Amino acid sequence: MRYMVLVKATAESESGEMPESPEVFEEMNRFNEELVKAGVLLSGEGLHPSSQGARVRFSGTERTVTDGPFAETKELIAGFWILDVKSKEEAIEWVRRAPMRDGDELEVRRVYEAEDFGDALPEHIKEFEAEIRARAEAKRS
């Protein structure tokens, strides 16, 4: 199963300043390398501060765009990993080994897999699939 590990923003990550010491980078590189060697890392990225992003709000047919930065730092995301692991505990065990700093917080969330849907596939997707199949059928005959 896949887990997404969300890195919560901090005042520092929101400031866009790079960490001063090269050790921070080295430690993170070493951690990422461990994840790669263990075959569990699917992807991982760091995000620019929210000042370089935007939000789009949906209300009826209205779309309201608000540019960053956003105030509530603790609610923001500064980066993520996607890990392919066997259990939540394994994801947590990897996360415990991440070279984070005092006050940092990581959140572990499970990614939906095909098996999770089963019969719960929404009706409109079923219909969509049926239509695609019908079209493919028509093309062949």
Q: Binding residues for other proteins, per CB under 8 A?
A: 1, 36-40, 42-43, 84-87, 89-90, 92-94, 113-115, 118-119, 121, 126, 128-130, 132-133, 136-137, 139
Name the residue nearer to other proteins (CB basis): 57 or 139. 139
Residue 120: strand pairing partners: none
Name the residue nearer to other proteins (CB basis): 26 or 129. 129
* Cα 101 to the center of its chain, rounded Å: 20
Name the residue nearer to other proteins (CB basis): 34 or 104. 34
Name the residue nearer to other proteins (CB basis): 75 or 131. 131
Least distance CB 5 / other proteins (angstroms) = 14
Task: Pull the structure tokens for residue 114.
Answer: 């095909």
Least distance CB 136 / other proteins (angstroms) = 5
For residue 138, give Cα distances in angstroms to 125, 131, 141. Answer: 20, 10, 5
| DSSP notation for 71-90 | S-GGGSEEEEEEEE-SSHHH
Cβ atoms of 44 and 80 closer than 8 Å: yes
